[in-house]
Amino acid sequence: MRPFLFTIALFCLIIADGHAKSLRIAVHELPPGRGYPYRVMTMPSLYSLSAIFDGLTRIDKDGVVQPWLAKTWTQTDDLTWVLDLRDDVIFHNGNPFTAEAVVHAVNYLTGRAGTGEAVATEMAFLEGATALDDHTVEIKTNIPVPILPRFLPVLHMVEPESWAALGRDGFALKPVGTGPFMVEAFEATRITLRAHPKSWRPPKLDRLEILAVPDATARVQGLTSGSVDIALALGPDDRETIIQTGGTFLGWRSEMVRTISFVLTEGPSPLDDIRVRQALNLAIDREAIIEGLLGGLTVPASQGATPAAEGYNPNLEPIRYDPDRARALLAEAGYENGFSLTAEAVVGANGSDSAMYQLVAGALSDVGVDLIIAPVTIAHLFDHFERGGWHGKAFGMVYTMEPIIDVIRTLRNNSCDRPAPWYCDTGATDMIQDALTEQDTKKRIALKQSLMARYRDNAAAIFLWPELRFAGLGPGVTGYDDVHGFISYDTLDVDP
């Protein structure tokens, strides 16, 4: 939309809504399950879901669990937790939030209908829940989970009566949560929302639109033209364009490590040899790519974890750049003439991923490996995550600690315990389970640190660097805050 036409449209909206404050956010993709909150627990879905729903806890920027819908939590024995809930929370339809909503959510995720969903898979240790009174709930697990509060940000609370009346698919189109905004309409590329008037964290805005704009360049153009107010998943090269048009450019490190992961479970390949995997890691000049492409804003990876996460191993040095050693290892493994490697990857999700893959491919070409990037959608990757059937022997992804900020998440996701694992180190399986269930904090952290060293030594992936996030804000936008993928919609504001 041209700036002049956008100004007229916005002026008409203000008049029609009685000086309502409205804001538009451009994201890469809307949640694949629309307003159904249990299908995924990662970005970009969390960007949208965090406007509508709340979990029981949140984790701050330092990795510390904070109260949210649950005020306190106590582990009363190895398998039992008691949570004290807020008593001032109202769902979008006016019904009060009580312990029964927690019971409903846990029962759904442990029942037949919910067990295949991503949130249920990650929280397969849930056994059940019981309401002790209106605002006290007991949660049972089937194994000890001393870090249970870290998982609770994605135990989103849905309104039980609406769920029962609409069913899962109907609820996905008309979701009812406790978040600061309530859904007016879900469309293919747009969510239209209005303020929840009785929210326990009331928003400053009256209306909100979240738009799916898959191309990063189009998101920047929307921001600079004024047709959107916030653009997410940008690249470092967008900084000057946004600043020159009066906007604000934000960049920060996430709790994710960018990788090219290996598929080692679907037939033989050169990657079965650890020397080949180690060679690919040694072939990448991470510092040069970070400086030239990412503005020097991150650092070479030492492992598949970031420092804020419980279990990060501070004793591991950054992976070095040694192309001569890489060539020698490939020759030892019988690949002195190199080989071709196809990697599926999402390209265009942010402003730098295409260039990043080109630079990595160039580095591998220097040691004789022809990296072929096969572009796919996020939905395509998610399908492979659950079912396998990869079209290559590698894929671009992140080792993510978000939103629980604990290495146990990335360890379990990259293990034999997946429904369709791509990396299966049978020797690590019991160690991962022990790291999940160990009650002693020091022992638990030591187990996780040992596992991070094991994955690094086994070259489970090409570990690149802690992932960066970039966002652009239009003139007059204030209060934007992204903490592990959860946007603080109650603090967002805009000067119309």
Under CATH, which number does the domain 252-467 receive? Answer: 3.10.105.10
**For the chain, what's the residue count?**
496
CATH code 3.40.190.10 region(s) in the chain: 3-36+184-247+474-494
- For the residues 372-382, what does the mean pLDDT come to? 88
- Encoding tokens for residue 34? 């629309």
The dihedrals phi and psi of 378, each to the nearest 5 degrees, come to -60, -40
* 262 token code pair: 């290996």
Burial of 94 by CB count in 10 Å (0-12 exposed, 13-18 middle, 19+ buried)?
exposed
**What pLDDT, on the 0 to 100 scale, is given for residue 398?**
92
Please give the pLDDT value at position 10: 38
Quote the CA–CA distance of 229 and 301 in Å, as a whole number.
Answer: 33
Task: Please choose, from the candidates 19, 44, 22, 171, the residue with its C-alpha nearest in 3D space to the C-alpha of residue 105.
Answer: 171
- In this predicted structure, which of 151-165, 293-307, 348-362 has the lowest mean pLDDT? 348-362
Whether 6 shows a pLDDT value over 50: the answer reads no
Q: Which two tokens stand for residue 252?
A: 């920060």
**Lookup: tokens for 368:** 């004789």
237 by Cβ neighbours in 10 Å (0-12 / 13-18 / 19+) ranks as middle
- Partners of 406 in the β-ladder: 310
Contact 117, 158 (CB under 8 A): no
C-alpha–C-alpha distance, residues 464 and 289, integer Å = 10
How far apart CA 408 and CA 122 sit, in angstroms, is: 10
Where in the chain is CATH 3.90.76.10? 54-162
Tens of pLDDT along 396-435? 999 999 889 999 999 999 999 888 999 999 999 999 999 9
Percent of the chain with pLDDT strictly greater than 90: 82
H, E, C per residue of the chain:
CCHHHHHHHHHHHHHHCCCCCEEEEEECCCCCCCCCCCCCCCCCHHHHHHHHCCCCEEECCCCCEEECCEEEEEEEECCEEEEEECCCCECCCCCECCHHHHHHHHHHHHCCCCCCCHHHHHCCCEEEEEEEECCEEEEEECCCCCCHHHHHHHCCCCCHHHHHHHHHHHHHHCCCCCCCEEEEEECCCEEEEEECCCCCCCCCCCEEEEEECCCHHHHHHHHHHCCCCEEECCCHHHHHHHHHCCCEEEEEEEEEEEEEEECCCCCCCHHHCHHHHHHHHHCCCHHHHHHHHCCCCCCCCCCCCCCCCECCCCCCCCCCCCHHHHHHHHHHCCCCCCEEEEEEECCCCCCCHHHHHHHHHHHHHCCCEEEEEEECCHHHHHHHHHHCCCCCCEEEEEEECCCCCEHHHHHHHCCCCCCCCCCCCHHHHHHHHHHHHCCCHHHHHHHHHHHHHHHHHCCCEEEEEEEEEEEEECCCEECCCEECCEECCCCCEECC
pTM of the model: 0.87
pLDDT at position 383 is 87
For the domain made up of 54-162, give the CATH fold: Dipeptide-binding Protein; domain 1 (3.90.76)
pLDDT tier at 13, thresholds 50, 70, 90: very low
Instruction: Give the pLDDT score at 357.
Output: 94
- On the question of pLDDT at 7 being above 70, the answer is no
For residues 348 and 360, the answer to whether their CB atoms sit within 8 Å is no
The 10s digit of each residue's pLDDT in 276-291 is 999 999 999 999 999 9
The mean pLDDT value for 311-319 works out to 97
β-pairing verdict for 70-77 and 65-67:
unpaired
pLDDT in tens, 320-343: 999 999 999 999 999 999 999 999
CA distance 314 to 302: 9
Contact 82, 136 (CB under 8 A): yes
CA distance 127 to 83: 15
Burial of 255: CB neighbours in 10 Å, binned 0-12, 13-18, 19+: buried
d(CA 175, CA 22): 21
- Give the CATH architecture of domain 3-36+184-247+474-494: 3-Layer(aba) Sandwich (3.40)
Is residue 9's pLDDT more than 90? no
Residue 235 pLDDT class (50, 70, 90 cuts): confident
Query: Average per-residue pLDDT in the chain?
Result: 92
Q: How far is CA 480 from CA 195, 298, 472, 493, in A?
A: 17, 22, 10, 8
Q: Cα(359)–Cα(289) distance, rounded to whole angstroms? A: 7
Q: How far apart are CA 293 and CA 207, in angstroms?
A: 37
Distance CA 494, CA 15 (A): 16
pLDDT > 80? residue 15: no
Q: Which residue has the higher pLDDT, 91 or 42?
A: 91
CA angle (297 as vertex; 359, 299 as ends), nearest 5: 70
Supply 265's token pair. 């479970």
As given in the structure block, the two tokens for residue 77 are 């024995």
Angle separating helix axes 426-437 and 441-457, nearest 10 degrees: 160
CATH 3.10.105.10 intervals, the chain: 252-467
